[in-house]
């Protein structure tokens, strides 16, 4: 069982992701803000983080770098709309391993998480 942190300011997306991840046998934590997410990240030390690319006023690239600085082995998936391609590219360069385009399908989430946790 993997520990997964979901950070998204949308309660609906957090709920959907948590249901998918828990159904797949993972332990899941969630946060609505980057501040809450960082606190949970340091406390729970998740194996994987699924993070909305843009939340509040936090720089998305700097947040990814912060996760990687604390735990270089953590896997990071960013969620975004298709219109934010350049920011997705910057997130990947900063250390995110993959991305999900909103709205996403259950099988996309499951396959992405399984593939990243297997590596």
Instruction: Give the residue among 119, 117, 80 at the shortest CA–CA distance from 101.
Output: 80
Q: Is the pLDDT of residue 12 over 90?
A: yes
- Whole-number Å distance between alpha carbons of 118 and 12: 28
Assign 111 a pLDDT band (cuts: 50, 70, 90). very high
Is there a contact between 8 and 32 (Cβ–Cβ < 8 Å)? Answer: yes
**Contact criterion met (CB below 8 Å) for 77 and 94:** no
Show the domains of the chain with their CATH numbers.
Answer: 3-118 (3.40.50.2300)
pTM score of the predicted model? 0.94
- Tokens representing 26 are 């993972």
For 23-43, the pLDDT digits (tens) are 999 999 999 999 999 999 999
3-state secondary structure 17-35: HHHHHHHCCCEEEEECCHH
Count Cβ atoms below 10 Å from residue 86 Cβ, excluding itself: 8
Residues 65-85, mean pLDDT to the nearest whole number: 92
């Amino acid at each position: 069982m993997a520990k997964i942190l979901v950070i998204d300011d949308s309660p609906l997306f957090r709920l959907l992701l948590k249901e998918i991840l828990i159904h797949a046998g993972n332990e899941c934590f969630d946060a609505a803000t980057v501040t809450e997410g960082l606190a949970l990240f340091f406390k729970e030390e998740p194996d994987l983080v699924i993070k909305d690319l843009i939340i509040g006023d936090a720089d998305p690239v700097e947040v990814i770098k912060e996760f990687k600085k604390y735990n270089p082995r953590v896997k990071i998936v960013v969620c975004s709309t298709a219109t934010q391609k350049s920011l997705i590219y910057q997130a990947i360069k900063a250390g995110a391993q993959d991305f999900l385009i909103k709205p996403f399908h259950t099988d996309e989430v499951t396959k992405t998480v399984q593939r990243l946790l297997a590596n």
